[in-house]
Chains A and B, each alone.
Chain A
Amino acid sequence: MNRREKEKRKEKSEKEEKKSSRFESWLDGDRDIYDGNMELRPQKEYEPSPYLLRRQENERKKMEERVNDVARNKEYRVFKRAYRVLAVVFCLSFIALLVLAVSWLPPVGQAGNPDNNEVSARYIEEGLQETGSVNIVTGMILTYRAFDTFGETNVLFIATCCVMVMLMLDEAVLKKQETDNDRKYEPKNDAILQGMAFILCPVIFIFGIYVILGGHLGPGGGFSGGAVIGAGLILYVIAFGFKKTQRFFNEAVYKTAKITSLVMYGLIGSYFYITGANGIENHIPLGLPGHILSGGIILPINICVGIEVACTMYAFYALFRRGGL
């Protein structure tokens, strides 16, 4: 009895397995369900009759003649004239609308203007104590409006992702076009350019780092410094080619730097939002205003934004030019 029951159970489980596996294969589309159940014949190729072809050709010719006959085509002439007139009228009316809107604005720099409200007063009066940054603009966009700036940085990230989706090529294609991409139109091993780039690239990088690190002390910040560093990277690529650049900046480095900086920004920013929004004490020291290690979260966020923007600029250039990093 026991044996029989066991065998029965085994059969049942096997059947269930079969059923589940069949369901899975149906779900994956492994088997053509019409295969074997329906009669399948290869389709005939479509062959239009010569009469039909001739008629189509004639109709096309007639159509082209009618369209290209500008002298007698009344519709076309009317359309062209009306298009020009309407374009001018539309532009002029749009300009008039804009000028009218501007004329309603209050004159710049008066005390009673609506932009002189309590928000800007607070930024100017208590910005230094609350953010610890000498440069009010940076203090404003990276602490009071850190959420906006986080969105902007994400926009850059998404933009590079889109460009990658559209322009990224396979490794095999890239290898095939390697010499073409590197040295087809660009100056071939120009000694003067390479010597100058050898001197200028470090200077540009140092200037970019200076602009990033001095974001809370003077004009500058992550966006501008990152753009400067990205421009330096582009100069390096133009002078020395992609092969030499890939030694220190390939796809792995790009991904690591970019995602790390974005995640770091997210973590610092979310800590700041949560403590700020709930009135919890913030443990990031503000430091002495005017020193380089001051400003609380501004300096690390500036560095993150700088890395992000530099990667974006270089990635745009590399993807546009050769379809890979």
Chain B
Amino acid sequence: MAEWIRFIAGSVFLLIGLFIFCVQLFGVFRYKYVLNRMHAAAMGDTLGISFSLVGLMIFSGFNFVTLKFALVILFLWCASPVSSHLIARLEVTTNEKLEEYCKTEKETDK
């Protein structure tokens, strides 16, 4: 019985993760502008992968591998948002026609 509960819980988490990955892929190919696509991709990179890895953790049980999975999740949560932030920053600083694509705050300082 416990095995069944573990199997169902793990597969539910895995399926949620895979669904988020599908949404991410759809978003990346559906949107045309960099910041929108980046939003979709970053969501899959953090939420989808953490759900999938939690599912795998439940499958593997409580041992050393689970700890490694947790470390992988921690590493990805640290690394992936920073890379998205850098891409966004590069786009904002290099794109001269930013107003055409998205709303920007008017520069009142100048």
Contact = CB atoms under 8 A, between A and B. Distances in A.
A192 B80 CA distance: 12
A203 B75 contact: yes
Nearest to B89: A187
Contacts of A196: 78-79, 82
Contacts of B79: 196, 200
B78 A199 contact: yes
B78 A187 contact: no
Interface string A300-321: 0000000000000000000000
B86 interface: yes
A192 B84 CA distance: 11
B78 A192 contact: no
A190 B90 CA distance: 11
Contacts of A293: none
A193 interface: yes
Contacts of B90: 187
A187 B86 contact: yes
A203 B71 CA distance: 10
B85 interface: yes
Contacts of A190: 85-86, 89
A199 B85 CA distance: 17
B86 A200 contact: no
A200 B89 contact: no
Interface residues of A, number: 8
A196 B76 CA distance: 12
Interface string A179-203: 0000000010010110010011001
A203 B85 CA distance: 21
A21 B78 CA distance: 71
Contacts of B75: 200, 203
B89 to A, nearest CB: 6
B86 A193 contact: yes
Interface in B86-103: 86, 89-90
Q: Which of B75, B79, B82, B90 has the most CB of A within 10 A?
A: B82
A203 B89 CA distance: 25
B91 to A, nearest CB: 12
Nearest to A203: B75
B78 A200 contact: yes
Interface in B61-84: 75, 78-79, 82
Interface in A142-195: 187, 190, 192-193
A190 B82 CA distance: 10
A112 B42 CA distance: 51
A193 B85 CA distance: 9
A101 B89 CA distance: 51
Contacts of A200: 75, 78-79
A187 B85 CA distance: 11
A295 B89 CA distance: 49
Contacts of A199: 78
B30 to A, nearest CB: 28
A193 B89 CA distance: 11
A199 B75 CA distance: 10
A200 B90 CA distance: 22
Interface in A228-264: none
A324 B90 CA distance: 26
A193 B83 CA distance: 8
B77 to A, nearest CB: 10
B87 to A, nearest CB: 11
A196 B80 CA distance: 11
Given A187-B90, A192-B85, A200-B78, 14 more contacts: A187-B86, A187-B89, A190-B85, A190-B86, A190-B89, A192-B82, A193-B82, A193-B86, A196-B78, A196-B79, A199-B78, A200-B75, A200-B79, A203-B75
Nearest 7 A/B pairs, CB to CB: A196-B82, A192-B85, A196-B78, A200-B78, A193-B82, A192-B82, A187-B86
12 contacts: A187-B86, A187-B89, A187-B90, A190-B85, A190-B86, A190-B89, A192-B82, A193-B82, A193-B86, A196-B79, A200-B79, A203-B75
